[in-house]
Amino acid sequence: MTNPIIKLEKICFAYPGSTAKVLDNLNLEVCDGDRIGMMAPNGSGKTTLFHTIMGLCRPDSGKIEIFGRPVSTEQEFQAVRSKIGMMFQDADDQLFCPTVVDDVAFGPLNLGLSTDEAREKAREVLSTLGIIDLENAITHRLSGGQKRLVALAAVLAMEPGVLLLDEPTAGLDNGVKEKLVKILNSLDISYVVICHEFNFLTSITDRVFSMENGKIILDDAALIHQHEHMHKMGNHPHKHL
């Protein structure tokens, strides 16, 4: 049994000024080697869950452990934040430097690399993702899909211990999605991926969880699945009872 990288225990959270619990006694464990997908309706609390793991939303009650250590204060979250690679649902929340290479080098620079080393690291990741041609592009002029890839590059450049990807395929064309599947499958890193596309999720994860009433549904019976079936006359309109 491996130690959890992320452990949430009985987390309750309501946004300030609201009594509605977005997270309600939520439990989650992400262990070494886990590749977890999360697919749940809009507004069910998926992004809030990621923000809670990052310390951007502070739970009203419950315990969070990251890399085996309890975290609750800003100082404690700061110490682990750079090791969690979170790709935000909105790439504009993540990218703020004038050029792509600066945006991707920003994290490594903050981790103590020299300017040259950080830019070298940035170029290496941009090459891996096949977007080195965007190196000197003005970030805010990129297309939505290009911004998402740059945001992913910025996350990977920090060599995080775990990845949290919030709807990474939003706005990506099929070719880029396929590239993303290959990249994620080639990484030796645990991750949790929020996505509304079942086929994408099953091609990059081992389990797909859902969220309901502020909790994660782990129950095997509730695991989202897809099946194919065959029967005679299937081309005619019919119902399955």
Binding site for ligand ATP (CB under 6 A): 15, 22, 40, 42-48, 89
Q: Which of these segments, 40-48, 108-116, 131-139, 203-211, binds Mg ion (CB under 5 A)?
A: 40-48
Q: Which of 5, 7, 35, 47 binds Mg ion (CB under 5 A)?
A: 47
Question: How many residues touch Mg ion (CB under 5 A)?
Answer: 3
Distance separating alpha carbons of residues 160 and 117, to the nearest angstrom: 17
Choose among 82, 140, 70, 134: nearest CA to 112. 82
**Per-position x/- string for 64-83, each x denoting binding to Mg ion as judged by CB under 5 A, each - no binding:** --------------------
Minimum separation from the CB atom of position 22 to ligand ATP (A): 4
d(CA 182, CA 65): 30
Interface residues for Mg ion in 87-146 (CB under 5 A)?
A: 89
* CA distances for 71 relative to 58, 62, 134, angstroms: 10, 11, 37
- The least CB distance from residue 86 to Mg ion, in Å, is 12
Closer Cβ to Mg ion, 46 or 81, answer by number: 46
What residues contact 123, with CB distance under 8 A and at least 6 apart? Answer: 101, 132, 135
Residue 52 partner contact from Mg ion, ligand ATP, none using kind-dependent CB cut-offs of 5 to 8 Å: none
User: By CB under 5 A, is residue 52 in contact with Mg ion?
Assistant: no
Task: Count the alpha carbons within 13 Å of 203 in the hemisphere toward its beta carbon.
Answer: 13
Non-local (6+) Cβ contacts of 65 within 8 A are: 4, 6, 7, 9, 71
Chain residues in the site for Mg ion (CB under 5 A) = 46-47, 89
